[in-house]
């Protein structure tokens, strides 16, 4: 209850501030993916670049990456996969609990210390501070992987996750809020999990569950269709449509995209801000001073 009241207070305070927009030119080219943390955004192209508010973890101090293949960030840390394997920086720079899976192709990081990597055959996960990530027995052939839960608070849910496994939706871990009670699906195409809820794109229909339905992020807007991507954050969910439009629901949905925003190829959510990827450009918008400072 304390956490919910605190979150509502923060959203109310930010909701009365003007929506700021920020954009920048990046040194890297051929941007294929973006990922956010609490107050930064990273872009992956021929290499990876991170920008945002400075913090003690050195999120901009990125290790050498040779042809990066995947990127995941959250909180104050980030991890990427390149030709040499898994590399992490920021708050994850000195972690000793790193999955040792060979030839990883996908990474999912959840602050402050939960990390999973997957290849075409296997999934391996690690957690610091004595935490555990228990995967279903025999899980293989994962095409998408998403970790959820509030890892840094006693008020949030423990670790859980969802993945598309051999073409089927699988969820595992803590289910206190019903976040792993996955519905029946026929053709899961995309997944996203937040702090206490989960969503899936099943053919053309978006389904969300968890959090006891109390904060709006599981109430999918009527008429939502042509969805290609989902992204979840505590108390909010966003969907990207095939025409580049962005639709969001939940407590942070007041952060609407700028009217002149390009047709987006990807959307991500940070702490009181959002970012979209266009044709080799990134644009962010946020409440007050929450927009990452480039």
Domains and CATH numbers, the chain: 2-287 (2.130.10.30)
Position 287 scores a pLDDT of 78
Position 155 scores a pLDDT of 38
Position 17 scores a pLDDT of 55
In whole angstroms, what is the distance from residue 197 CA to residue 211 CA? 5
* pTM for this entry: 0.86
Position 151 scores a pLDDT of 47
In whole angstroms, what is the distance from residue 59 CA to residue 168 CA? 35
Position 133 scores a pLDDT of 61
- Contact (CB, 8 A) for 248 and 241: no
Position 11 scores a pLDDT of 40
Question: Which ranges of the chain have pLDDT less than 70?
Answer: 1-20, 22-25, 54-57, 94-98, 111-113, 127-138, 150-158, 288-294
SS (H, E, C) the chain: CHHHHHHHHHHHHHHCCCEEEEEECCCCCCCCEEEECCCEEEEECCCEEEEECCCCCCCCCCCCCCCCCEEEEECCEEEEEECCEEEEEECCCCCCCCCCCCCCCEEEEECCCEEEEECCCCEEEEECCCCCCCCCCCCCCEEEEEEECCCCCCCCCCCEEEEEECCEEEEEECCCCCCCCCCCCCCEEEEEECCCEEEEEECCEEEEEEHHHCCCCCCCCCCCCCEEEEEEECCEEEEEECCCCEEEEECCCCCCCCCCCCCCCEEEEECCEEEEECCCCEEEEEECCCCCCC
Position 103 scores a pLDDT of 86
Which of 183, 199, 188 is CA-nearest to residue 249?
Answer: 199
């Amino acid at each position: 209850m304390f956490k919910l009241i605190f979150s509502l207070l923060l959203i109310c305070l930010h909701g009365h501030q003007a929506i700021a927009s920020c954009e920048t030119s990046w040194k890297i080219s051929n941007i294929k993916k973006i990922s956010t943390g609490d107050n930064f955004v990273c872009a992956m192209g021929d290499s990876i670049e991170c920008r945002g508010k400075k913090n003690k973890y050195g999120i901009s101090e990125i290790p050498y990456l040779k042809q990066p293949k995947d990127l995941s960030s959250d909180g104050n840390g980030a991890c990427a996969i390149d030709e040499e394997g898994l590399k992490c920086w920021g708050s994850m720079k000195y972690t000793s609990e790193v999955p040792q899976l060979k030839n990883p192709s996908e990474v999912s990081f959840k602050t402050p210390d939960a990390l999973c990597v997957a290849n075409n055959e296997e999934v391996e996960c690690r957690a610091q501070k004595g935490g555990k990530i228990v995967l279903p027995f025999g899980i293989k052939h994962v095409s998408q992987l998403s970790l959820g839960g509030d890892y840094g608070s006693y008020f949030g849910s423990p670790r859980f996750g969802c993945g598309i496994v051999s073409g089927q939706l699988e969820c595992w871990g803590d289910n206190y809020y019903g976040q792993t009670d996955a519905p029946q699906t026929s053709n899961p195409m995309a997944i996203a999990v937040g702090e206490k809820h989960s969503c899936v794109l099943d053919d053309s229909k978006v389904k969300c569950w968890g959090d006891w339905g109390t904060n709006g992020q599981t109430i999918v807007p009527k008429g939502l269709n042509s969805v290609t991507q989902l992204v979840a954050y505590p108390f909010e969910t966003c969907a990207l449509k095939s025409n580049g439009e962005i639709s969001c629901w939940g407590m942070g949905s007041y952060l609407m995209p700028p009217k002149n925003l390009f047709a987006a190829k990807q959307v991500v959510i940070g702490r009181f801000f959002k970012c979209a990827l266009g044709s080799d450009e990134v644009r962010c918008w946020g409440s007050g001073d929450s927009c990452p400072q480039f």
